[in-house]
Structure 1
Amino acid sequence: MKRLYGALVLLVLLGVTPTARAADCRVNGGPWQTVNPGGTISLQIPVNVRLGSDTTRILLEGANIECKFTSFGGPAWLQDYWATSTQVGPAWTPGPKFSNQGTGLRINGAYLNTPVPDGIRILTIPNNAVGYPLAVTPYILIRNNPTNPIDIRIGDTLGTLRLNQTNNYDAGRTGLLLAYIAANNFTVSPSTCTINNNNPIEINFGDVHQRAIGTDPLTTSVSTNRRLTYSCPDGGINTPITITYKGTPTSFNNRLLTMTHPDVGTALVRAGSAVQVNGSFLTRITNSGGGDDVTFSLVRRAGSLPAAGAISGSGVLVMGVP
């Protein structure tokens, strides 16, 4: 009897399905940072802030953010997407010193005030392992009414940026969380109101004899008068303001601004009183304008006779609110 032999061939259909990949990002040309799907890259970014401004915003520039699609041999049509998203929370949260200011993000040239909308696509990254910049820059809105300057110190948190990464090949996602940290000291004045139209106030006492320099800010014979004018671009602003005499006080009198000669300082006198250095006087803007007459006087340390020669110094007048 003949036997029949049969063969059963099992066809195993193998398909290539791309596995979810990690996200790779870096800041300011540093090492690439990787996070697995579902996670978040959390970085603190020391930023040497460069303040560029137009008529309505101050830009917090200085962080170069790049991300890439790390190729794993898949087809060329694979892509990663970076966007704002509720999955990671608010796109931009300003730091504590900016919490009372209007802020936002410039994304690919478009200005989006806080709260920044969700679902704003920032970048599409192809499957080529090349780093692409995320064109995102935080900003502060400039106000047309007087406000206090914001004094930023090294280590202060400027704000937190949150972005979300998805793709076109699976349901995976990762997040990017960047804390902007000030790497330098700087002062931001988020107001368009000005003192003397922001022009420098040069105080030139001319050639004086050392003995003519008095030891009291109110009685020294070496002095010069100036008019301070205050203005805001929008009409109808009526508010009290402060003018602060900022600088480094002398070691012998805190009402005197330090000069290049250790025994000489400069006082700011208003309404018969010398304003303490880093102190302020109260005045007012009415219908978006105002002004004060002040005197700058040269004063020497009691008991000293400064050596002949040129002396100089510098300070800043800052408008604020009480």
Structure 2
Amino acid sequence: MWRLADISMKYMTGFILLLLMQNVFAAHCQVDGGPWVDMKTSPLDVHVDLRLDKDAGKVTMSGYSVRCMHDFPGWYPDSNKQYFSTVASGLILGPTVMDYGSGMDILGALLPWPVSAGRYLALHDRLTPVVDLPVKVYFDIPTAPGKYIKIKPGAFLAVVLLFVTYNFDSPQYPAYRMRINLIARNGVDSSPSTCVINNNLPINIDFGSVDAVAIGTSIFNTPYKKDFRLRYSCDGPSVNSPITVKWQATPSAFHTHAIATSKQDAGVILFRPDSSALVGPGGEIRSTITNSSGSTEVSFALVKKPDTFPDAGPFTASGTLTLMLP
């Protein structure tokens, strides 16, 4: 009896070990250093930053990292490899973007939809267990009059199906499809926007009472300066863009960077207080607008022609700041 029990236990143990050896392995992927996801059983949700590239005529993706690893045992040959490649009809667009032209950016090559099968995105062998998986989709900005692309934050952009294969045969490493869901983290809109400075209200710079003797000849020796923050705002869709603010005014006759005033020997200089850079008539200020707003610190300085004393009495000067987007 003891021998039969002993034999039975050995048989059961051997059966359990045999089952454990039949496990099927799969790639595991993560987003931005997050938890590893078994790609054979679960999809990977990837939130992406969208960028409106009007020069290229496309909406592109950035701001995320997808990494995948294999689980090859250490005793596997170094030549064993795992491949990630496209499958036929493997780009499925979300409902809000399905009417736009689209494609995949595969290692810098822009391939329009439908993308053919067998395009490799990444591969790795036993010695490189973790690789970057460059999953990128782009959308074409419509060029027809009155047509624009508009994507809201949180929009479901696309499903990307990839084929995971191996260069060796093993029941523990069968080929399979993996799914990646692309979701918009921000919104983009290619329709026209209106951006203004100072809510489109006049900017009034008042130097107060001025002593003609004390007026300096440069921004460094005049006591009459006024700081002002140029505030930018845009209506309509969210705007994220570099901008140029052009300063237009009648130049002074005695200083190349000053604008003329109603007093012949007095002028006003616009400059950047952070760098003391002078912005003369026709000059430009470069800044940025983020999420449809932005600002720039500037200063105005009252200066005079050397060896003169401007006439007493009120004076005026005027100029125009024009905000330009690329």
Q: How does the TM-score come out when normalised to structure 1?
A: 0.50
Q: How does the TM-score come out when normalised to structure 2?
A: 0.49
